Structure 1
Amino acid sequence: MKKIGLVYVKGAVPGFEDFGKLPTDLVKSNGLVNGLKASEELDALIIPGGTILESEDISCELASEIKQIAKDGKPIVGVCAGFQLLANQTDIGRKSEVPIIKEGLGLIDIDFSPLISSDRVKAKVYDNSFITKGQNEDVTGFHTHTYGKAEGDAKPLFYSQIQRMNYGDVNKKSEYNIFSGACNDEGNVIGTMIHNILDENPIIRNNFLDYIDASSEDIENISSKNKEVKAKINKDLGVNSGYKIETLAEPFLKYKNNGKGPKFLMIGSNGSDSGKTFILTGLAGALRKRGLKVALMKVGPDARDIVPGLYLTNGKMEDYGSIKIGHLGWMDIKLAIDKLNKSDYDIVLIEGVMSVFTG
């Protein structure tokens, strides 16, 4: 059976997206899979987003295994922080007078620096790697990053069209203006800032499977093993925290939706920097630990604010995670609530923006 690893370390967000329902095994910080080196055990590797570069969550052992997988010509896909890990370096000094440099693995010739983007996007495609073969139309997905300015000599794969950059509207005359994907010279090491790229674009996903020569039987086995991987992830609070999700306790049974849709709780305040994200994150973790399935949403376009909560819940960034205000954001509130009422979430936590009136 073909085996596709998903890096599972502190600082990663392995539940943030489904990655095409491809991962079959979790690769932990020691670089091992089932007691064997990842480079020997796996046919491919996916590196999720998170803060794995800023918080230095990649060990020497795991870094060595990633480099060996690349050297062996096997495919690696890094998304957002996974891309930054594969690149040369990232300047994380967004509020610093001098650059604060975090070194990557140098597998893709790209340097990153601060650029905030959190849009649903369409991206123009360049045929420079196996992953984009036959993808003649724009791909879709979403951005949610702080260090998204990519510059370098690597082969381009994607350029994303965005509405906002660093909290301001972009120049509407510029159709594709964010360099959002690249690969190494050999084309087997892929980096992209576009989340959901394997979930929303069937050709990209099928190219991945074709590259590892996955048969129809392999694909069935991958699907089955992926369900086991998702189940493992959903038992943990965060990643390697030592806390497991509890069976729902009696006092919390009253919050179960019983077919009536989830409960909704809005967290607002009278201004920015007042602790909304802190409160939402703590509530999300506490409720998830007790066995409730928690959805997180943000009023307005900056969906980055709910990422810490999704890290604790191992939850997915849904397509309704950002509630529209005017032309900004991802989905109208009514449509979002309609979708939530048909979901299996028990409770929805919504973070407001700027003031209680906006919320």
Structure 2
Amino acid sequence: MSNAVLVTGSAGFIGFHTAQRLLARGETVIGLDNLNAYYDPALKQARLDQLLAHPNYRHHTLDLADREGVAALFATEKPARIVHLGAQAGVRYSLEAPETYVDSNVVGFLSILEGARATGCQHLVYASTSSAYGANGKLPFAVHDGANHPLTLYAATKLANEAMAHSYAHLFNIPTTGLRFFTVYGPWGRPDMALFKFTRAILKNEPIDVYGEGRMSRDFTYVDDIVTGIIAALDQPARINPDWDAQHPDPATSGVAPWRMLNLGAGQPVPLMRYIEVLESKLGRKATLNLMPMQDGDVVNTEADVSDTLDAIGYAPSTPVEEGVGHFVDWYCNFYREN
């Protein structure tokens, strides 16, 4: 086994930033991404080009659902640790292309689990989502609360990942940590997410669609804080919880497997209208608002309880939206040559 880290989705938003951070601290990174056309492949390629310039980065253009291809990658590279961030993203697209989500997020995750099993992985860290909380209306969302009522297929596939990871952790003693990401934003972000769409529209003097008539709030989390949490989790493998009670089972830990769930959010929800105000300030332009009803599968508010994440891995997010949105605007205007 090598000491390399496999990062899936390495040409994606969070995967790119994670790979960069790992390379910066001297790790060898094996990247996997299929560079699909869910959004602009040129943006993915631009991220990947930066990684390819680093001598300690090796890339495999490969689909997660290609079981034989992923198995061959594990047999050749033998990564010691895995950060699994590759998935079909997007909550609403799952209403249009459900098969894509099952292929990538369920079949693809099985490919990763089988690779981890074959190589004796030291720790598998994987992305789940705050969407897993679904119809749970208790705020803040805590990993010790149930997450049994997903509102979209995307969320259902991520809950399936959590259950699959537990079974492999139990059967094959593979330490696994699932991270429920809250709304992540920042430079090199995804074009299908609100901040990117709002910025593009405002700069083109086009109206922005504001769902829920703007009466929503989100636990917007800056990407650098997310990556800090990912790597802190990677460095501290999950363990069996010796205090776990089978009569009162804790949904976030396990008494029979080195398995855990953690929230990665800011812990500070921001009203959507405040988020837009910050963006207007950074762009120096006012937005024309097209107030829309709630979308299917959406929720009004999200808020992460990150107290367990602080206790487990020392996670302490510190980037306010005023700073984070400013960094995104600077990147966007430079990358797209707009001002």
**Which range, TM-score by smaller chain?**
0.3 to 0.5
Q: TM-score, normalised by structure 1?
A: 0.33
Higher helix proportion (structure 1 or 2): 2
Q: TM-score, normalised by structure 2?
A: 0.35
Higher strand proportion (structure 1 or 2): 1
